[in-house]
Structure 1
Amino acid sequence: MSTDAGQRLTPSTIALLIIPPLMWAGNAVVGRMMQGVVPPITLNFLRWGLALLILLPVAGWVLRPGSELWPHWKRFALLGLLGVGLYNALQYMALKTSTPINVTLVSAATPIWMLLLGRLFFGVRVSRQAAVGAALSLSGVATVLARGDITQLLSVRLVPGDAWMLAASFIWATYSWLLARPKPGAEPAAIKADWAAFLLAQMVFGLVWSGTMTTGEWLWLGSQPGETASHITWGWPLAAALVYVAVGPSLLAYRCWGAGVSRVGPTIAGFFSNLTPLFAAVMSATLLGEMPQLFHAAGFALIVSGILVSTRR
């Protein structure tokens, strides 16, 4: 796997790296809509439970006794904790007190975490053009956050949800590096060659982590005055939301992200995650009946410029 900043981006690789932020933007909007319908950690558990049921018919062999998964369970348990159990749970928790645009904007810190973790733990040098690309991409995010008026940045106040999302972006960067740089022999060839089996292997452990956290959430809610531990509003809105988050952000996005990271490495892939707030802004505006503004185009241009600068030969 290459993490070289000069890795060429082919059209197919660009498509692989654009689909995940598009799906994740929709995930943030849907997660915000589900506040008050289902508790956030419970939503994460239901999401991955449904995704696991979808994958079982095509990759269930990986869970059979004698599978190569079990001798390597520690590796997949760690990936499941970070990518399935923690990251999305923290994002849904963040959406309780923050908006989809704010949450996805805060997650734009991911490329910075990618660069720092790569330098500190994987010996990857931070090139000048990677640093310039990061600055350009983040300036694009700032343009969207400020709605085209940079002076508005001075009035931004972080809420608890933004802090949760900052922690989530660090976890995602760690997950991506572990995905890209496995130790020799840490991943059986048969599982690694089958994306569905590879994801299912993470899911089965991630659901254990998520189920444990969901139990804690219900116990905590049950101890709060005026809270109902089992407050879930069942109906078609929740059903539609679960289908979307289980298929789009879970299966499709993870498949494309894993393939994209394997081609260009987590550092370059991290720049594409900065497209998420732009997509979230457009989706949020559409749902509110507002058309995208000029500053959305300006932010998009800066973000794409950062991607091109960081990856050009």
Structure 2
Amino acid sequence: MKQGFLGYGSALLATIIWSGNFVAARAVAALIPPWQCNFWRWLVALIVILPFAWKGLGKDWSAIRREWRYLSFMAILGVTLMNTLIYKAGQTTASLNMALLVPTAPIVILVFSRVLYGEPITARRLAGVLLVLAGVGLLVSRGDLATLTGLHFASGDVWALGGAICFGLYSLFMRRRPRELSALGFNVATFALGLLFSLPFTAAEACLLPLPKLEPAVIISIIYTGVGCSFVSFWLWTLAVDRIGPVKAGIVYYSLPVFAAVGSFLILGERVTGAQLAGGSLVIGGILAATWPHRGATAEQGEKEHGDET
């Protein structure tokens, strides 16, 4: 039970911090190109995490060398591509479309967990997912369902969908992290490898496009996303997936539009409507319905997880 609360709490806190990424990205969309924005964000994250992980890197080094293929794959998904695709999408995609594409990441986790690991999609979990999707639809449409039916998907929507899929696959394959590799060691390796893989594209973009404008909004955004959205949130997400698995953590991630709406109200002064409150209630209710343990399931899940570890 203690592990469950820690897992859900870590996933929820990571999601809250991640929700601020939309506000930050909106503020700097015209000031810094996507590859450069992503590169500086992760460089800040790597600089911040190194002092915390330095002492343990000696123990982690053998696992890092042995699992370099797996770590490279995770680095490409979570560091090199995911947020670069989201920043690219922000140049041409409406915020409504972006918000609708956010929940596809947990759906990817749910489907691939079934295909690759045989993890069951129970009726209660499916009902919770459907309830969450209904809440997200109500939230982003502001209660006007005609808004949803009239959407026209632009090229940016494809980029956003690619970013969501990267996050879903990243969370799914997190469970394959070697137990002898600490969470900090895993993050240091993926941060560094992701930066290495993105360097050629960042350099090419810097040569072909105008240099970023070093305005306060850009500096604040890079620091916030580097320290909060990259270092803190990815560490919390690693802990969450370790303790409750990628499917349950992914369902908690459904609450991101709710916190994004709260952030928009507090920071940008946007009015919160009744439809948004109702949609947020459906999202939270769906998460609870899909993740709240029922009698008899806790012991069964514990036996399954113990078997997976052995």
**Band of TM-score, shorter chain:** 0.7 to 0.9
Q: Is the CA contact (8 Å cut-off) linking 1:17 and 1:256 kept in structure 2?
A: yes
Q: Which residue of the partner structure matches residue 3 of structure 1? A: none
Question: Does 1:38 pair with 2:18?
Answer: no
Local SS of the residue matching 1:37 = coil
Q: CA deviation at 1:10?
A: 4.7
Question: Does 1:270 pair with 2:250?
Answer: yes
Query: Which of 148, 155, 159 is the matching residue for 2:150?
Result: 155
CA deviation profile, 1:228-252 (whole Å, cap 9, x unmatched): x242101322211111001111111
Distance 1:288 1:63 in 2: 41
Distance 2:45 2:268 in 1: 29
Distance 2:237 2:263 in 1: 21
Change (3 A) 1:272 1:79: same
Distance 2:16 2:154 in 1: 24
Distance 1:282 1:40 in 2: 25
Question: Does 1:212 pair with 2:200?
Answer: yes
Letter in 2 for 1:263: R
Q: Which residue of the partner structure matches residue 90 of structure 2? A: 95
Matches within 5 A, 1:115-264: 115-182=110-177, 187=178, 189=180, 191-192=181-182, 195-218=183-206, 222=208, 229-264=209-244
Letter in 1 for 2:45: A
Task: State the identity as a percent.
Answer: 29
Q: Is the CA contact (8 Å cut-off) linking 2:6 and 2:243 kept in structure 1?
A: no
Q: Which residue of the partner structure matches residue 272 of structure 2? A: 292
Letter in 2 for 1:217: E
- Worse-matched range after superposition: 263-272 or 159-168: 159-168
Query: Which of 69, 75, 89 is the matching residue for 2:70?
Result: 75
Change (3 A) 1:73 1:122: same
Structure 1: gaps of 5 or more residues: 1-6, 223-228
Letter in 2 for 1:196: L
Q: Is the CA contact (8 Å cut-off) linking 2:99 and 2:140 kept in structure 1?
A: no
Letter in 1 for 2:28: M
Letter in 2 for 1:21: T
Q: Is the CA contact (8 Å cut-off) linking 2:140 and 2:276 kept in structure 1?
A: no
Q: Is the CA contact (8 Å cut-off) linking 2:105 and 2:165 kept in structure 1?
A: yes
Q: CA deviation at 1:123?
A: 1.7
Instruction: Looking at secondary structure, tell me which structure has more helix per residue.
Output: 2
Q: CA deviation at 1:288?
A: 3.8
Distance 2:47 2:4 in 1: 33
Letter in 2 for 1:124: E
Q: Is the CA contact (8 Å cut-off) linking 1:100 and 1:280 kept in structure 2?
A: no
Letter in 2 for 1:279: F
Q: Is the CA contact (8 Å cut-off) linking 2:135 and 2:278 kept in structure 1?
A: yes
Change (3 A) 1:79 1:289: same
Q: CA deviation at 1:87?
A: 0.7
Distance 2:93 2:167 in 1: 19
CA deviation profile, 1:206-244 (whole Å, cap 9, x unmatched): 10112122134345xx2xxxxxx2421013222111110
Structure 2: gaps of 5 or more residues: 295-310
Q: Is the CA contact (8 Å cut-off) linking 2:27 and 2:217 kept in structure 1?
A: no
Local SS of the residue matching 1:273 = helix
Distance 1:136 1:210 in 2: 38
TM-score, structure 2 normalization: 0.87
Q: Which residue of the partner structure matches residue 7 of structure 2? A: 13
Q: How many residues align?
A: 292
Distance 2:50 2:137 in 1: 42
- Worse-matched range after superposition: 45-54 or 290-299: 290-299
CA deviation profile, 1:163-189 (whole Å, cap 9, x unmatched): 21111111111111110134xxxx261
Distance 1:40 1:132 in 2: 37
| RMSD of aligned Cα (Å) | 2.3
Q: Which residue of the partner structure matches residue 284 of structure 2? A: 304
